[in-house]
A and B are shown apart, each in its own frame.
Chain A
Amino acid sequence: MTDDKDVLRDVWFGRIPTCFTLYQDEITEREAEPYYLLLPRISYLTLVTDKVKKHFQKVMRQEEVSEIWFEYEGTPLKWHYPIGLLFDLHASNTALPWSITVHFKNFPEKDLLHCHSKDVIEAHFMACIKEADALKHKSQVINEMQKKDHKQLWMGLQNDKFEQFWAINRKLMEYPPEENGFRYIPFRIYQATTERPFIQKLFRPIASGGQLHTLGDLLKDVCPSAIIPEDGEQKTQVMIHGIEPMLETPIQWLSEHMSYPDNFLHISIIPRPTD
């Protein structure tokens, strides 16, 4: 039987083969070759694409280059969402490699947050972790940690160091012995078809009678359309890290084992492929 800890590794080391192509209207001095990269599902676009930027800047004139941004089939990609979430939400049922278009001009101010430096990514990442702990532990665990522990979480992510990250993160996954889980589960549910970017609500992992709430219970409560079949057919899939977990899975277990490094469960509701 697979050890639960193996799940943590599988989540951490998940990769998406990606092909980056320069937007055709960008002005280049010679032809830009596409650039191939395996993207970590758990990281962020602007954190792992320095090589992509360098590759395309080599064929462009300096004055044509401003803030880089990415787009998939016309949709600007939000760098502040984890890569795995972006893929699951927009491209999971399409052929690999994932084809992303790279832009250096006309930054879409109304759609994307700016990302002028790695500090911005770190601030965003830490803000998510802090919010997750507010939900799980009323911020007690994160506030008790020292600055160097916070730094270690970020460095672990930035340098792809599983052990370094989990040495600290395991504390954020603990709960008092008298409880059977966290206070509330940090989760967000995404659907590409809605204007609202995500659904996030307070949800307890344990019912008043002591039973463990499941993924199905969560969806029934905050997003029933995701699991209620339309005309007897299940039109949507519920996806986390590229897989469809069984709806009977306890949400406490999912939170401990399939959260992203920001300690949130990022869940995509996508159209079920018809073939």
Chain B
Amino acid sequence: ASCSMAGEEEFFLEERRFKQCCEDFVKHSQQIGDGWEWRTSQDLGDGYLSKTHFQVRNRHIPPDLKEKNNDNTEQMLFAHVEEPPDDSEAAGVCSAEEVIRYEYHVLYSSSYQVPVLYFRACFLDGRPLTLDEIWGSVHASYQARLQEGPWDTITQQEHPILGQPFFVLHPCRTNEFISAVLRGSQEQHRQTNYITLWLSTVGPVVGLNLPLSYAKLAPEQSTDADLL
């Protein structure tokens, strides 16, 4: 079996396998120019996947939103993802274009034996985005998913290798959905790259999308693209 199983139901990702999946993932990323790279830390030889991209965002500030107080974050978030107004409403809305630099890191958690997604965003002048500002760009349907459970949330944490503040999607529930999908995948004798599977599920929640070609990625990838 390509995944080690600690119990009947759970697929745990060993660190060696994590590194291998990342290596295959980066190879594919390089083929399609998707910008992912592996960074190794100098002192201990561990490392992480990294991707930086820039996004132009249209910031809508509906006039009545300025009055809403910050206690009602949920309402504010949904207001942010409304469709942009058509021309007839444009007069009542101010909008500014901003360039935002997003950074995504995939690290391995030895405590939970799963990958963990770290991310941060800042404006070009270096000012970091707050969590609320980042949530504003998350699609409404994913926001609902995030509300489930006190620990399945985004929090600010210290990056374990860089020591700087990042936002983190909490890993403790990762195994629930990953195990179900991997089990189904194994039953059909389909090989799956754990990182592709996992990142395609959690990534969109925080504005990160994977091109469909990653789905062809399998462990022990040969150069024969017909494998699968």
Please list the residues of chain A having a beta carbon within 8 angstroms of any beta carbon in chain B: 78, 80, 109-114, 123-124, 127, 130-131, 134-135, 138-139, 186, 194-202
Q: Digitize B70-108: 1 where CB-to-A-CB distance is under 8 Å, 0 elsewhere.
A: 000000000000000000000000000000000000000
Tell me which of B155, B159, B160, B165 contacts A200 (CB under 8 A).
B160
Min Cβ gap A268→B in Å is: 15
Tell me which of B156, B157, B163, B165 contacts A195 (CB under 8 A).
B163
Min Cβ gap A191→B in Å is: 10
- A-B contacts, 15 of them at CB < 8 A, read A80-B158, A109-B165, A110-B128, A111-B164, A111-B165, A113-B158, A113-B165, A123-B150, A127-B151, A127-B170, A130-B151, A134-B112, A135-B111, A196-B44, A200-B110
B92-138 at interface with A (beta carbon < 8 Å)? 110-112, 127-128
Given contacts A127-B155, A134-B112, A135-B111, whether A110 and B43 have CB atoms under 8 Å apart is: no
Given contacts A114-B156, A134-B112, whether A196 and B161 have CB atoms under 8 Å apart is: yes
The answer for the CA separation of A67 and B62 in the assembled complex, in Å, is: 28
Could you tell me if A123 and B160 are in contact, using CB atoms closer than 8 angstroms? no
Min Cβ gap B69→A in Å is: 15
Min Cβ gap A151→B in Å is: 11
The answer for the CA separation of A30 and B181 in the assembled complex, in Å, is: 64
The answer for the CA separation of A201 and B110 in the assembled complex, in Å, is: 7
Tell me which of B160, B165, B172 contacts A198 (CB under 8 A).
B160
Tell me which of B111, B127, B160 contacts A197 (CB under 8 A).
B160
Min Cβ gap B111→A in Å is: 5
Min Cβ gap B159→A in Å is: 8
What residues of B have a CB within 8 angstroms of the CB of A139 in the complex?
A: 172
Min Cβ gap B147→A in Å is: 15
Could you tell me if B172 and A195 are in contact, using CB atoms closer than 8 angstroms? no
What residues of B have a CB within 8 angstroms of the CB of A201 in the complex?
A: 110
The answer for the CA separation of A131 and B157 in the assembled complex, in Å, is: 14
Could you tell me if A123 and B158 are in contact, using CB atoms closer than 8 angstroms? no
The answer for the CA separation of A137 and B43 in the assembled complex, in Å, is: 30
Min Cβ gap B120→A in Å is: 10
B41 at the interface (CB under 8 A from A): yes
A197-B159, A197-B160 are known; give 4 further A-B pairs, CB within 8 A.
Answer: A110-B128, A123-B155, A127-B155, A195-B163
Could you tell me if A109 and B128 are in contact, using CB atoms closer than 8 angstroms? yes
What residues of A have a CB within 8 angstroms of the CB of B159 in the complex?
A: 197
What residues of A have a CB within 8 angstroms of the CB of B151 in the complex?
A: 127, 130
What residues of A have a CB within 8 angstroms of the CB of B164 in the complex?
A: 110-111
Given contacts A113-B156, A130-B151, whether A196 and B110 have CB atoms under 8 Å apart is: no
Min Cβ gap B92→A in Å is: 31
Q: Which residue of A lies closest to B130 (CB)?
A: A114
Given contacts A113-B157, A197-B160, whether A131 and B111 have CB atoms under 8 Å apart is: yes
Min Cβ gap B112→A in Å is: 6
The answer for the CA separation of A200 and B109 in the assembled complex, in Å, is: 10
Tell me which of B44, B150, B155 contacts A199 (CB under 8 A).
B44
The answer for the CA separation of A139 and B176 in the assembled complex, in Å, is: 14
Could you tell me if B110 and A195 are in contact, using CB atoms closer than 8 angstroms? no
Min Cβ gap A179→B in Å is: 16
B162 at the interface (CB under 8 A from A): yes
Q: Which residue of A lies closest to B156 (CB)?
A: A113
The answer for the CA separation of A263 and B27 in the assembled complex, in Å, is: 40
What residues of B have a CB within 8 angstroms of the CB of A198 in the complex?
A: 160
Closest A-B pairs by Cβ, 3 of them = A197-B163, A131-B111, A134-B111
